[in-house]
Structure 1
């Protein structure tokens, strides 16, 4: 048997496979499509990285280190699909869609989480316990306890835990170098081990035995405090301080309104396109509408499987790529009508029309794909969201035009389902 005999069944199987895989990928849709800050609410924070005597210049490496630490901290907050982007050479944009506790998130972004252990005189401990201002001042207990003998950089893990009485909270930690911490506790038996977080006094338990791998940090902590601090310690300390220079919060109600308006506009536009294609191109227009529905399904599946964050600009890129798909079909069907007017049979008109339109369709799609790729590489934040959906939408649009629309058209023409030239808009 020839290829012409098998081509439509094989193409049909491919189309069915595309439909099945795409449907599987997006269901349940409410759990698969991740919405951005502007659609579900949340917060956007612009951080300024500040140089210190220890780190006099904010380099690319420092910026990357800060981004890694903050990414690890955000993962501990349970925020779905956060966005982190470098802005200039010394700033970082952090977007947290759907964050439930903005205040906790701000503390997580702002705190350096530098943990230090010092051997403290009992007089300093007594004063720090009774005078909060003295305990919180870098020139107070932190300075009077002398040099740092162990730091958070030497820890390999930290977890929140209820205290032994079950009435308070503590932080359990594990050390990277048990021998070092063991020698420290052995040499200072009976002395207070001052614990400081970001140069603020936390507590000073007395060393009553040799501690090697596991220890605990106690203090006047709430459950929220120990969870946040343990998360920060596990993520690591920031190499430089950060300062919040912009903080924008988008309420979930506003995000929902924007989402509804965007979806409404997209559906109205899509409906008008469907009507236009059928009114002008008749049967081919109807076939193109079926192909367009498959295109939308494939695009949603791609967004779901790539865990992309859908934003308002992303929806704009999606809608624009739908326009590219429609434009491709318009070029093809105009060529098809010209071939019919030239006196060719339907099969000949379809074959020649698609072949002659292909170069124009390909060129227009490639130029858009290149432009979207440049936007993705050079853009930040929402620009990337627009570029991402435009890029992949245009790629799938090309696939839809040259394969799926062609398959439907061949299926109708080869089986003589509709033979009237008027039904093809000619």
Structure 2
């Protein structure tokens, strides 16, 4: 069993911790940067891996990349990525502020491979994070991985996002019959287009619509039905007034607001991110349904204002029990596979909840600098990214605030940093561990 000893461990090599790594490279002293490790459970980097479809676009301007709003002169900007890869002229000629999702994913890969000092390790699945105590003080964290290795660190940053939400009525379906949006591209590619004749998509927002449209194209013999609780699909609320709430500067106002004001803002802005669709996709789906009706077909359909009360496997079929919210009537809908555009849990990720329980916290709270509120005796720090909508606003889970947020976290890290090497980790001899310090180059 191998143990590493670092000052800062960042879990997850997604946009949040990549932005943090860049901010460290640009703002922090060498000894902190060279004692930072980013770990990723996958063996590569991909943005929105489960829905990395070739025609999908970001809904956010390319200027809201990992660095530009914090440091417009940074070498890690999206524009410099285009320049470095010889694609700047083509992107400018495309005439859009919203790049294809595939291009953003490649930008993230480029950033990760360009970091000169922060180290990234791939294929490392975290299974537990535990507080490391010296007496009554929490002075660090012990992170355990699926390969039985460990990392001891003084400070930690979670950039893993929220856990996926699978409603309980679907939990008992066989794995090959139910597909969450986070695994769509991987699992659907294994299905036989000739064998799949009935697909049901549950959900009424962007991810559900993307799965519906992709399935309609990939399975030309299949009937594709979308089941949603709402009255129908709607565009994102993307007015310029609404978009001002995604400014990084809006975080201060939201954090200082009363709980009632925060709740009102989150409710009113819901359709700007979670409850709507990109206008182009909505228009494509509607036009296709129109053309089908015009030509006497009905392969693409929608069931609105309906709940899925139950889902059971019956032989080679999945049987969904639908309840009409208008009349209360119940009916069955049979299909071959169910695609879930049901989003993510509103709770903190399970690994964070387990850590809070080990510390003895009654609730998980963060301060303005995204640092978990710990007992006063704690000298270790824990930063939570992308899971603080309730206190930092709806943009917290989006790329809009990444550049500025990463700078704020680094500033907080430096303000409370103790000079010198990290505190000693657990006795390696007691557990038969081999201590490994990161190389200083």
TM class by shorter chain equals under 0.3
TM-score by length of 2: 0.20
Of structures 1 and 2, the one with the larger relative CO (CA 8 A, separation 6+) is 2
* Between structures 1 and 2, the one with greater helix share: 1
TM-score by length of 1: 0.20
Question: Based on CA coordinates, which of the two structures has the bigger radius of gyration?
Answer: 1
